[in-house]
Chains A and B, each alone.
Chain A
Amino acid sequence: MKMMEVTALSKSFDTVNAVNNLSFSLKEGRCTALLGPNGAGKTTTLEMLAGLLVPTKGTILFMGSNQADYREHIGYLPQQPVFFSWMNAVEYLVFMGELSGMAKATAASRADELLELVGMADAKKRRIGGYSGGMKQRLGIAQAMIHEPKLLILDEPVSALDPVGRRDMLEMMKRLKGHMTILFSTHILHDAEEVCDDVMMIHKGELAVAGSLPELRRNYLENIIIISAEESLDTWARTLERWTVITEVRVRNNTLELFVSDLDKARSQLLAEITEKKIPISSFTVGSTTLEDLFMKVVGK
């Protein structure tokens, strides 16, 4: 079941195209990471999905409909959540709950539950003005979930946190994953790999690569053989470029990086050649490119 289907979404500010012709869908119950470097259009995309920005072009279908105001079904955590410093955590959550259409009493009991969940039960009566960054982020998550939304949209939920806060947040997202659909943006691939099921990489406002993690690994990650030697391998490398099993050769000092299409074939041929030509190798590594490499390739660095 598709929770959200986005078609040809575009947003331009004056002459700048922040988001360009973006199409994707979010499947119910899955966690999707929106990955891209700073300035790729992640926040603009999320704000359009959250109903904060009106798209220049394109449609957003929520649960198959593009008519209804679906804001009551989504929870949104902006990159820098802000609060009323003069409220305490409970007052703030009840206020946000009531704005989402909950009765005061329901919102209050849900607020207690959430503050327990995010580990802030002991600070709930203190004014938010005195909270630390990590506490604010946790309260931000709590306010996004107060009305039990179907879709949780988190904009860079871990970027601003210290290592401990970051770990807490990732663990919390893992726990939430089973209960609701999550879409979160990040520029850190490691976070995406750790918690999400699906990945969308965007670059300069356009969708570059999308799919589930296994799909991406299958379709985009290339096998690679790295050979290091005690002397320069330049001349040998030039002969390797003509091999059909090798798609690309990169030479760095005394190290060769060979992108290969058929790993087994390439391995045996290379090993045979090394023995035959008595190439003084120091290491022979078989592996694959990482999502990081794919990300870098997409970003064009």
Chain B
Amino acid sequence: MNKWLVLFRKEWLEMVRNYKVIWLPLVFVVFGLLQPITLYYLPDILKNAGNMPEGTVIKIATPSSGEVLCETLSQFNQMGILVIVLAFMGIVAAERRSGMMKMILVKPVTYTSYILSKWVSALLLTFVSLSLGMLAAWYYTILLIGSFPFVDLAQGTGIYFIWISFLLTFTLFLSSRLKSSGLIAALALLLGIVLSLVTPLLEKWMKWSPAQLTGAASSLLTEGAAQGNVLLPLTITILLTALFLYLAVREP
């Protein structure tokens, strides 16, 4: 535990020194702010875009607060996942490539606490980034569109975080086994994309899919309650996350 803390502090200091603790949350905050602003100004933007005959009346139903937040979440599901995978693809692989891993593992440290320190710090920063992004979106939604219950926001974000954690853990697992950062990112993104695409298409057979959690989070935000069975994908996702973490801490 003591050594784990030393390694965890090092991970955190590294993320401070390479500015990851600043830019990763800021990126999420930008996307969080962007969505309510764009949706609010959409009619003006369309009007200014021209091409419309004089006198055309554009009627776009102003989206509800829940819909704006749901849009934000789907934005996070693309750009957010991309950024997180790219940010953490080298988390183990880079130190293995450089030889730093040997410098550390020759000290009386277990491989498990080495990997776990990385997992927890990456998870923590991701959680902070996602939360700040959603809070920013929430604040602007309240300002521009209308109030929205914090409890629903927290629940939706919480469920969504489980899905992100699953992808992050998969990225860490790949990083512990593969050398090429590019390949790691490609495979991790592939899993995210395939699950997200296939799950709604094959609804019937994919009730267990971790990607169901994004749907559940969306419906929590738009309707105030999760649609369908959340417990099954939730359980499966947590089990898969645990499995990939277990595989990651096993020395290759």
Contact = CB atoms under 8 A, between A and B. Distances in A.
Q: Would A and B touch once assembled, by the CB under 8 A criterion? A: yes
Interface of A: 47, 50-52, 69, 71-72, 74, 76, 78, 80-84, 86-87, 91, 95-96, 98-101, 143
Query: Could you tell me the dominant secondary structure of chain A's interface residues?
Result: loop
Interface string B1-45: 011001100100110011000000000000000000000000000
A71 B98 contact: no
A52 B100 contact: no
Nearest to A153: B106
Contacts of B108: 69, 71-72, 99-101
A78 B100 CA distance: 10
A82 B10 contact: no
B47 interface: no
Given A72-B108, A99-B107, A99-B108, A86 B14 contact: yes
Interface residues of B, number: 20
A71 B107 contact: yes
B239 interface: no
A78 B106 CA distance: 10
Interface in B69-123: 98-100, 102-109
A101 B109 CA distance: 9
12 contacts: A72-B108, A78-B99, A81-B103, A83-B100, A83-B103, A84-B10, A84-B100, A86-B17, A87-B17, A99-B104, A99-B107, A99-B108
A99 B7 contact: yes
Contact of A96 (B99, B102, B107): B107
Interface of B: 2-3, 6-7, 10, 13-14, 17-18, 98-100, 102-109
B106 A71 contact: yes
Contacts of A143: 103
Given A51-B106, A52-B102, A78-B102, A99 B6 contact: yes
Contacts of B7: 99
A160 to B, nearest CB: 14
B186 to A, nearest CB: 26
A21 B215 CA distance: 60
Nearest to B7: A99
B179 to A, nearest CB: 16
B19 to A, nearest CB: 11
A78 B103 contact: yes
A100 B103 CA distance: 12
A72 B109 CA distance: 9
Nearest to B103: A82
Given A78-B103, A95-B6, A101-B108, 6 more contacts: A74-B106, A81-B103, A82-B99, A83-B100, A98-B6, A100-B107
Nearest to B105: A52
Which 10 A-B residue pairings sit nearest by Cβ, starting from the closest? A99-B107, A86-B17, A71-B108, A72-B108, A98-B6, A76-B106, A82-B99, A82-B98, A50-B106, A82-B100
Contact of B14 (A47, A71, A84): A84
B112 to A, nearest CB: 13
A101 B4 CA distance: 11
A60 B38 CA distance: 66
Nearest to B17: A86
B18 A86 contact: yes
A91 B100 CA distance: 15
Contacts of A52: 102, 105-106
Contacts of B10: 84, 95
Contacts of B18: 86
Contacts of A74: 106
Contacts of A51: 105-106
